[in-house]
Amino acid sequence: MPEIQKDVPSSRWRLTESSKEDCVLLAHALPAKLAPVIYHSDQLKAAETALVIALRRGLQMVRDTRLAEVDQSASGWLDDYESVAMRYLETGESPGWEAQPSVVARMDAAVGDALAAQPDDGAVVLVGHGLAPTLWLHSRSPFDDIAAFWRGLTLPDAWQLDLESGELARVERF
């Protein structure tokens, strides 16, 4: 969970100290065999999450702006963020928010490039946010209620997707 500050853009929010501790636990809950690089969005909270994992697991870090959260910058601070986000997931629309097909396309390109750059001997780890990965996972392994999936995410959270079978599974809780 980041330290939320209304007067600071969410891209500059930092993790709380307890969240960094949760990231240590997450690092150890990930599969034993990982690819040597961890990819993260350009937002500070994602970079801090990736750093904790990278340090614990001996990984190199690569920033990929395509892993960013859904662009909502045109809407500014929203007191009712959760209801607006749920409507966006359910209907695909929210004034000033990035179009869902654009989100899925950039996430798909980022995942494809990360997979192509890594040897086949370990899970590829990508650190992002909530809405964008939810949309991408849903495009690859559709689930019944996209808003319920997003609402059920924890911070931090980890999911493993088998691209061949489409099987999606939460990484065991830590």
Q: Quick one: CATH architecture of 13-68+100-170?
A: 3-Layer(aba) Sandwich (3.40)
pLDDT band at 149 (very low <50, low <70, confident <90, very high): very high
Looking at residue 94, its pLDDT comes to 85
* CA gap 138, 58 in Å, rounded: 30
pTM of the model: 0.92
CA distances from 58 to 13, 22, 37, 70, 76 (A): 25, 18, 9, 29, 37
Amino acid at 82: E
Q: What are the residue boundaries of the structural domains of the chain, listed by start? A: 13-68+100-170
Q: Is the preceding omega at residue 95 within 30 degrees of 0, hence cis? A: no
74-79 CB contacts, 8 Å cutoff, 24+ apart: 77/6
pLDDT band at 5 (very low <50, low <70, confident <90, very high): confident
Helices (H), the chain: 17-29, 44-57, 81-91, 100-117, 131-140, 146-151
Handedness of CA 115, 41, 155, 77 (dihedral sign): negative
